[in-house]
Chains A and B, each alone.
Chain A
């Protein structure tokens, strides 16, 4: 096995994986390192999950050389995609995986938040379950902290388990500078300029919940991450460093318009 791997590494590098991540509909996936795939420890438990596990793995690592008919080949191909997805869910929470997904996030490869008040904040793919075949992939917006359905039907067919329930939360723990400033901006239904009573009471109640939370956090001296918070709470030294990074991110995302606000 080891011999095979060193061979593939040098000769034909990631032929199948290159094809997979560049094929239409697979834009959400990043490329898994050869090293990661060939470390048996990383694949623990997947042999029971994936049909024709060994062939599938061979295909993914480009050492597949079985003579078989087209049906069989198709089945193995399907298994390989499934295997790749399941390994992908594990890979993207590793340091290298997070880095790759971060690059894609910065390029907004996963789309942008449809919520108007989020101002096209980039999204992250996520699953609502870690088990395959339960729910399709959803997209998480870190600004409004809600999940959305992918726009395109070719993406809504991808299994959510290929991204998992944890990745999008872990990435913000690893890269806290990426956490977007939260905004209390929101839509208020109006009729001829007047607020509508029923939604308005709900909005007042929600605003009350938000203010309670912010008070709770202020008492604990935890940064709540709201925009005006940055303004009235004087930033500590350590925060200032992070803030600079934040501004960079903001500038990246919003063309530098919001960045000025944050810096105040």
Chain B
């Protein structure tokens, strides 16, 4: 398929520059042209072939034969009906195509692009591109006050199109938010998918996710800054850097309701009930369930040998600290499941 890369206004770049499409990465044509990446999409998108042509800016007149070849290569029988239609309108298809037809193809192309996009941003090239957009705060910042404007990532709550719109995942408080601008409420969440947000965190463990969105406009790469700053602070817990596991949560990052300076008691009918949602253990190593299980009697300091003093270990916390008690493996229950 002759790709028209380099044309000033390719369908992909014009699609990505549309209002409301700021979150999209530009999928490389190589990725789209690899049939393997499109497995299973034919059944999900109406007028699949035309949509694909539109995305790749292939003029139907130019490569009628190629198209047919392409079809055979794909070994696809499901588009027989469309095939028929194509043959019927063969010579000057684009010119004689009904306006309504075009708009159907246009919307199919957008759907197809979105579904490919969901896969693309989980590929190496795609996630790299998204990381560049993340560094430039293209996805906005967390609306939560105590997250202090950290950058967010676009995610979907479902991988199936048509279920929900795109949401913003804040890696700092591990919660999802509705994008502030209503123009994003027309963007399907499935175009980003459920996987991207979490995969991003695991792919770039050295990002300083506490960095504020407004700071990043200074032009420094936050990744290089983070790795330079925290070489000695690379402690990992459960496969994530300690400083990247819910840094917007825990003591000091939770809202405490007060009336005239006095805390509202939990026992009041209107008292706080949702503290747990923004809480985090004072000593994050409590979450290392495997280590806690292996050394139930050891004090926390021994759990990770040679670990430096924890920056997050608050001194003399007035809050009750949960510790594995009595060396019983049952103490695990307290850390996790329902007691």
Give Cα A222 to B70, complex, Å. Answer: 68
Q: Is B336 engaged at the interface, CB distance under 8 Å to the other chain?
A: yes
Chain B interface mostly? loop
B242 to chain A, nearest CB (A): 9
Tell whether, in the assembled complex, residue B275 and residue A209 are in contact, meaning their CB atoms are under 8 Å apart: yes
- Which residues of B (196-255) have their CB < 8 Å from a CB of A? 197-199, 201-202, 237-240, 245-246, 249, 255
Within 8 A of A (CB), among B164-184: 167, 169, 174-178, 180
Contact of B270 with A145 in the complex, beta carbons under 8 Å: no
* The stretch of A17-25, A41-49, A169-177, A255-263 that contacts the partner chain: A169-177
User: Do B197 and A176 touch across chains, with their CB atoms under 8 A apart?
Assistant: no
Query: B84 to chain A: which residues have CB within 8 Å?
Result: none
Q: Within the complex, which residue of A138, A144, A190, A208 is in contact with B274, where a contact is CB–CB below 8 Å?
A: A144
Would you call B135 an interface residue if the criterion is a C-beta within 8 Å of the partner chain's C-beta atoms?
no
Nearest Cβ distance between residue B89 and chain A, in whole angstroms?
40
When the two chains form their complex, are residues A192 and B195 in contact, meaning their CB atoms are under 8 A apart?
A: yes
Q: How far is the CA of A198 from the CA of B240 in the complex (A)?
A: 6
B277 adjacent to chain A (CB < 8 Å): yes
A128, B146: Cα distance in complex, Å = 11
Contact A116/B177 with A189-B197, A202-B287, A210-B276 known, Cβ cut-off 8 Å: yes
Determine how close the nearest CB of chain B comes to the CB of A183; give it in whole angstroms.
Answer: 9
Given that A191-B199, A192-B195, A213-B273 are contacting pairs, would A222 and B267 also be in contact in the complex, using a CB cutoff of 8 Å? yes
Chain A residues with Cβ under 8 A from B266's Cβ? 213, 216-217
With A115-B177, A196-B202: A211-B238 Cβ-Cβ less than 8 Å? no
Least Cβ distance of A185 to chain B in Å? 10
- What is the CB-to-nearest-CB distance from B159 to chain A, in angstroms, rounded to a whole number? 9
Q: Is the CB of A147 within 8 A of B145?
A: yes
State whether A205 touches B287 (Cβ < 8 A).
Answer: yes
Complex: how many Å from CA A85 to CA B80?
A: 70
B268 within 8 A of A: yes
Which residues from A are CB-within-8-Å of B267?
A: 217, 220, 222
Residues of B close to A196: CB separation below 8 A: 198, 201-202
- Interface residues in A104-159 by Cβ distance below 8 A to B read 114-117, 120, 128, 138, 140, 143-149, 151
The reply to whether B143 and A138 form a contact with Cβ atoms under 8 Å apart is no
A166 within 8 A of B: yes
B137 to chain A, nearest CB (A): 15
Task: Identify which of B198, B202, B276 contacts A206 (C-beta below 8 A).
Answer: B276
Contact A199 B269 (CB under 8 A): no
Interface assignment of A26: CB less than 8 Å from any CB of chain B:
no
Selected from A148, A168, A193, A202, the residue in CB contact (under 8 A) with B143 is A148
B interface size (C-beta, 8 A): 61
How many A residues face the partner with a CB closer than 8 A? 59
Contact with A along B274-290 (1 / 0, CB 8 A): 11111111000011110
Chain A residues lying within 8 Å of B272, measured Cβ to Cβ, are: 145
How far, in angstroms, from A213 to B319 measured CA to CA in the complex?
Answer: 13
- Select which of B175, B195, B246 is within 8 A of A115 by beta carbon: B175
Say yes or no: is B335 at the interface (Cβ < 8 Å to chain A): yes
- Say yes or no: is B337 at the interface (Cβ < 8 Å to chain A): yes
Taking a contact as CB atoms under 8 Å apart, the answer to whether A166 and B260 are in contact is: yes
- Once the chains are docked, how many angstroms separate the CA of A196 from the CA of B239? 9
Inside 8 A of B199's CB, which chain A residues have their CB? 191
**A116, B261: Cα distance in complex, Å:** 30
Q: Known contacts A173-B270, A206-B277: does B245 contact A198 (CB below 8 Å)?
A: yes
Shortest beta-carbon distance from B289 to chain A in Å: 6
The answer to whether the Cβ of B97 comes within 8 Å of any Cβ in the partner chain is: no
> How many angstroms from the CA of A220 to the CA of B146 in the assembled complex?
31
Residue B88, interface by CB 8 Å: no
Q: Are B176 and A187 in contact (CB under 8 A)?
A: yes
B21 interface residue (CB < 8 Å to A): no
Which A residue sits closest to B278, measured CB to CB? A146
Task: Report which B residues bind A (CB closer than 8 A).
Answer: 143-146, 149, 157, 167, 169, 174-178, 180, 194-195, 197-199, 201-202, 237-240, 245-246, 249, 255, 257-261, 264, 266-270, 272-281, 286-289, 322, 334-339
Other than the given A115-B175, A199-B240, A209-B275, 13 more pairs (CB < 8 A) read: A120-B178, A145-B274, A146-B255, A147-B146, A190-B195, A207-B336, A208-B322, A209-B276, A211-B338, A212-B339, A213-B273, A217-B267, A225-B269
A to B CB contacts below 8 Å, 22 in the list: A115-B176, A116-B176, A116-B177, A144-B274, A146-B274, A146-B278, A148-B145, A149-B145, A166-B258, A166-B260, A169-B259, A169-B264, A173-B268, A173-B269, A187-B169, A190-B194, A199-B198, A202-B174, A205-B286, A208-B335, A209-B275, A222-B267
Pick the 4 closest A-B CB pairs, nearest first.
Answer: A189-B198, A198-B240, A172-B270, A198-B238
